Amino acid sequence: MDLSFFLEPPEGNRTASGKLVVEALKPLSMTTAQPGTYYRSQPAPTEAMLYGMLENALGWHFPEKVRKNVLEELRKAAKNELGRGHDLKKTPWITGDEDEASGVGFQSLLQHHLKFTGPHFEPVTVHFDDLWARHVHGKSTNFPGGSRNSDYRIEHVVNLEKQGDIAFGDRTGYDIRDPGALPDVEAGDKVHVKAIRPHFPMYYDSPTPREYVIPKRPYQYRVEATPTVADLAAEALEDPAAPLYLGTNDGWVNARWETLDG
């Protein structure tokens, strides 16, 4: 993975102009943070989402801690190349003082070498709500009803509970606590959730209202970048290293880079 573009000073070198055109292939849900009971979508992607889409096309997939370390190492290498006393050592490219992060902590490697300068075109959007299966992990008794999957070995126990012949719970009186006792469960028994928890996934589904948008036309963004990054982006969008999406990972899009003069 070649990240040497970062070593080139961006100040005064973002001389390549381009237009990023993004066409939605499916409804998009573009939330900027993790909300509570309702996921409201932005009508257009944030800059962090666009940076993320470009990095996806480039194949740059880093966990948060790894990304932080990569940025630190790139800055250290760039600082060394500048040499002692160079004025650019005080710029945000090196100091990171003006780094922007998304609502979920994503920091783009591209943000100093590629800028969304405008003017932009953001189309009219149609909005609607749908139920989204949010994956939840907790210690409550909700998980049996929130998961479609369970170990086949307790199928008869699950069926008895669905028929109302037995009950799951975590209070006093739910005395079947040993998973080994589950094959002998009969109608009328009360089964403690500790006995069945090992036979269910670590998460359960919680249907959550989520807003989606359908843009009537493609989004268009005016971009200025260093020539190296402009070439990287154009080539990556021609043949992306991974599927492109905005918002949720099923918000698929097509994107292309158009070179502009001046």
pLDDT one-digit tens code per residue, 94-140: 998 878 877 667 899 999 999 999 889 999 999 999 887 666 665 66
- What are residue 36's phi and psi, to 5 degrees? -95, -85
Two structure tokens written together for 152: 């086949």
Please tell me which of 5-19, 34-48, 130-144 the model is most confident about, judged by mean pLDDT. Answer: 5-19
Model confidence over 132-183: pLDDT tens digits?
766 666 566 666 666 677 788 889 888 888 898 988 888 888 999 999 899 9
State the pTM of this model: 0.76
In sequence order, the 6+-apart residues with CB closer than 8 A to the CB of 6 are 74, 77, 78, 109, 113
Structure tokens at 43: 């009508």
User: Could you give the CA distance from residue 192 to residue 157 in angstroms, rounded to a whole number?
Assistant: 12
Pair of tokens at residue 131:
């139920």
Q: Options 1.10.260, 3.30.70, 3.30.300, 3.30.310; which CATH number does 4-129+206-260 get?
A: 3.30.70
Q: How many residues does the chain have?
A: 262
| Tens-place pLDDT, residues 195-205 | 888 887 766 66
Strand ranges for 56-203 from DSSP E:
114-116, 125-136, 167-169, 190-192
Give me the DSSP letters along 223-234.
EEE-HHHHHHHH
Which tokens go with 145? 């009803």
Extents of the domains making up the chain: 4-129+206-260, 138-202
> Contact at 8 Å (CB) between 24 and 215?
yes
Phi-psi sector, 20: left (phi>0), alpha (psi -120 to 50), beta: beta
